[in-house]
Homo-oligomer: A and B are copies of this chain.
């Protein structure tokens, strides 16, 4: 196997949700879901990626910059794409190739700033092969949603998950881990970093 690692990088509430309740195209992260991502919005690396200046620096910012730097290609589900396409606008924050898992054949969508959405209809394994080839020595980020991350995890194709654990109980929403088989999946904690109001857990899948 050539190329880098395959990882997911996602913010989760203490009760396991990655959105607030009632997510939709109009409200992609659900009611109150902004609370989960509060830690990220003011960080300099995040702002830079979204065409804004200034922002906070420090360990949280370093983590975000690190994730952007390691990523050569993003893979995401059709629903995440549909929810994000509007908010991301003409210059999406990926600045590189994005493979979108879908059942509908569609021409690639070229955006400003280096982002190209390529629609892949032949399954998660083939999508990952193409992503790996495009990523070269860089890593492949399984961007979401939760069901796509779960599919890669269950297929044994995910090397690493970085979970930004936020100490809030949102009560309802989209769960990161749900409907997994009952065969336990073991992970290994390889890094723990405490930010203000968030704990960054890096986990390696045990194969």
Contact = CB atoms under 8 A, between A and B. Distances in A.
A192 B189 contact: no
Contacts of A176: 15
Contacts of A180: 15, 169, 171-172
Nearest to A176: B15
A192 B199 contact: yes
Interface residues of A, number: 36
Given A189-B194, A192-B199, A184 B167 contact: no
Interface string A1-27: 000000000000011100011000000
**Oligomeric state, in copies:** 2
A151 to B, nearest CB: 14
Given A15-B16, A197-B189, A201-B199, A32 B169 contact: no
Given A14-B177, A15-B16, A15-B177, A32 B184 contact: yes
9 contacts: A14-B177, A15-B180, A168-B185, A168-B186, A169-B185, A171-B183, A171-B184, A171-B185, A172-B182
Closest 3 CB pairs of A and B: A15-B177, A169-B185, A167-B187
